[in-house]
Structure 1
Amino acid sequence: MNANSNAVVTIERGTAPEATRTELRPRYEGSNICTWIGFKHVNFMVEEAVLDHLRQRGFPAGALYERYGLCTDISTIDTKILTAFHIDDLAVAEVRPVAGPGSGMSFEVELTVRRAEQVKAVTAKVTVSFRADDRGLPVEPVPAELAEHVVAELGRPAEAVEVGDRDPIELLTEGANAFGWAWRMPYFYCHFTERVQMSGYLRQMEEVVDLFLADRGVSIKKLLDEQDWIPVVPHSRIELLGEARMEEELYTIFTVERVFKRLTYTARMDCYVLRDGVLVPTATGRITHGYAVIDNRRDWSLVDFDDQMLAALGGGSGSAAGRGR
């Protein structure tokens, strides 16, 4: 075999460990308030751990695409944050393959971090799909170990919504405690040349929360300035339902589903693209938020929602936002 071929090493069954371990540090970009790392970048660490697992097993994403035309896609990510990460933390990630529904490869991921002792910081469930590239370029036969996980299109079909002559955001938020936002998908939210990737949807989820809170009069900066409060996220989940393409306008709907006493609220994110007068679902997810007060430059404490926050979360019957930045 040519040493310069960037070849994928085929792993014989039973010769590699089922689980892999790797060390990761959060990216500096994710340290937005004091030195804490936001939920999006925690999910990025989970994604990197899974990609490194595939790399250690002989299936690096770059070579899979270049040789076999396989696009490595995170199609679901479900993450629970148990302990906050700080910018200089070193995480130890363990990735274990598990049985899962559908055609994707399923994994459980655990991140631990050193405090007084090594503690569990994150648990996650991830599904990876290998999407066959359809650009018409020559490829080699797919490795046998991956063949059952190859798909022609990402997601699981969900019911589309007829628009007629309605404004899509007004239609999707009507009668709901919801907020809507439309934005053209840029190339830097995409990968493999044309499709929005999971990290793009994580960015959508982060931003739609920010826009929702500002729309309800409790913006991140307002609560920081007035009360030293910051939002914290113990749980987030996103699943791809279809494919959104580069430069399509993505309609993102954020719906508050449940407020648990004065402790947390859970909201749903639904994403659509408009094609031929029909809104096609491309992703759905949920996020749970609480609030904490900044105690010092390193520590925070969870707080109950006050009346202002409860009123904002109760909201009205739908709110439409702008179409860009």
Structure 2
Amino acid sequence: MTAAAPPMSTKALLTDATTVRLRPRYEGSNICTWIGFKHVNYLVEEAVLVHFADSGAPARRLYEEHGLGLDIVALETRILHAFHMDDVAEAEVTPDTADDDRTLGFRVTLRVERDGSVLKAVAAKVRVSLRADAYLPEPAEPPAEFAPFVVDRLGAEGPTGELARIRVSLPDGDEDAVLASLTEGRNAYAWKWNIPYPYCHFTERLQMSGYLRLMEEAKDRFVLDRGISIKTLLDDRRWIPVVPQSSVRVVDEAVMEEDLYTVYTVEEIFKDLTYTARMDCFVVRDGTLTLTATGRITHGYAVIENRSDWRLVPFDQRVLDALAGMQSGT
């Protein structure tokens, strides 16, 4: 007979650090053997999930026994050294939750071995909400210690008035008018997308990994629109995009099969070496565009020197003009 699991407690979750060894997914190696920023963030997410499990509160048990969905609602990551295919990361998760916080906070450090030395490769900050399940009406009660971090809707823990709403005229079926309103007067690109189930979890919600995939796609769509697509710069000069920093924050919920409008806006070009772009995601509700997530990403370019090495390069005039919106036809 299997012994009943002990009651869940936040003691270890909020006080103990955990360490786990993780390997990036093969899917994340798109150019040569380097791992893209999205899959680096997946390692951070997995480390946090392991921390919950090792602390006696695995995501499955939280949901099945207590009707709580573990949702990462904020993720800020700095990449200090690139990961390669077959690298093994040592991930350390340290609790970082203040007494009055309404989300669970963690700092995550990923380390990797290079030439006999262990380097700090990634530093990340993560915030987690426990979303009470309303899809299945089965009664469920959260453990008392977890109650301060339980929300009925993602974003509810934010300050009053934080949910940004933009009122625009939305003629029936006029997608172009909505996109034009979102990009008017901005160095931006936008598109509409219907949220499919593979981007969701806990039956209906768009999850953090889905927003990371959108952030990656936004870059791809933007540079294609500006005439400097990923493949164009690869073929012309063996340049690849690199990401030293990214962040995403969920401020409201987006639900499966809703139309999501994503806007990618270039904010700053820094010393011809990097540029920062903002991603904003909106859904239409009651004739109003409602912000569901916002984030930022910093990009640069590197030239492929051989199958294992690259180095950063400054933007040339063609790339600078495209990023600034000066390319003909944009």
Instruction: Tell me the TM-score normalized by structure 1.
Output: 0.93
Deviations 1:74-98 (A, max 9, x none): 0000000000000100000000011
Relative to structure 1, the CA distance from residue 12 to residue 38 in structure 2 (aligned partners, 3 Å threshold; closer, same or farther) is: closer
Match of 1:260 in 2: 270
Cα distance, 1:11 vs. partner?
Answer: 4.1
Please state if 1:109 is matched with 2:93: no
Cα distance, 1:145 vs. partner?
Answer: 2.3
Structure 2 residue identity aligned to 1:150: V
Aligned with residue 57 of structure 2, among 28, 43, 59? 59
Deviations 1:278-305 (A, max 9, x none): 1010000000000000011011000000
Give the aligned length. 317
Match of 1:83 in 2: 81
Please state if 1:151 is matched with 2:154: no
Distance across 1 between alignment mates of 2:22 and 2:227: 37
**Residues 252, 271 of structure 1: 8 Å contact kept:** yes
Aligned with residue 312 of structure 1, among 305, 318, 322? 322
Match of 1:160 in 2: 165
Match of 1:323 in 2: none
Structure 2 residue runs without a partner (length 5+): 172-176
Identity of aligned residues (%): 55
Distance across 1 between alignment mates of 2:182 and 2:30: 31
Relative to structure 1, the CA distance from residue 164 to residue 15 in structure 2 (aligned partners, 3 Å threshold; closer, same or farther) is: closer
Aligned with residue 19 of structure 1, among 17, 20, 37? 17
Deviations 1:192-217 (A, max 9, x none): 00010000000000001100000000
Distance across 2 between alignment mates of 1:141 and 1:58: 17
Match of 1:234 in 2: 244
Distance across 1 between alignment mates of 2:204 and 2:10: 33
Relative to structure 1, the CA distance from residue 197 to residue 8 in structure 2 (aligned partners, 3 Å threshold; closer, same or farther) is: farther
Distance across 2 between alignment mates of 1:311 and 1:132: 48
Relative to structure 1, the CA distance from residue 16 to residue 189 in structure 2 (aligned partners, 3 Å threshold; closer, same or farther) is: closer
| Pairing of 1:135-284 with structure 2 (within 5 A) | 135-155=135-155, 156=158, 157-165=162-170, 167-284=177-294
Deviates more, 1:131-140 or 1:142-151: 131-140
**Residues 9, 59 of structure 1: 8 Å contact kept:** no
Distance across 1 between alignment mates of 2:74 and 2:13: 28
Match of 1:42 in 2: 40
Structure 1 residue runs without a partner (length 5+): 321-325
Instruction: Tell me the TM-score normalized by structure 2.
Output: 0.92
Deviates more, 1:41-50 or 1:98-107: 98-107
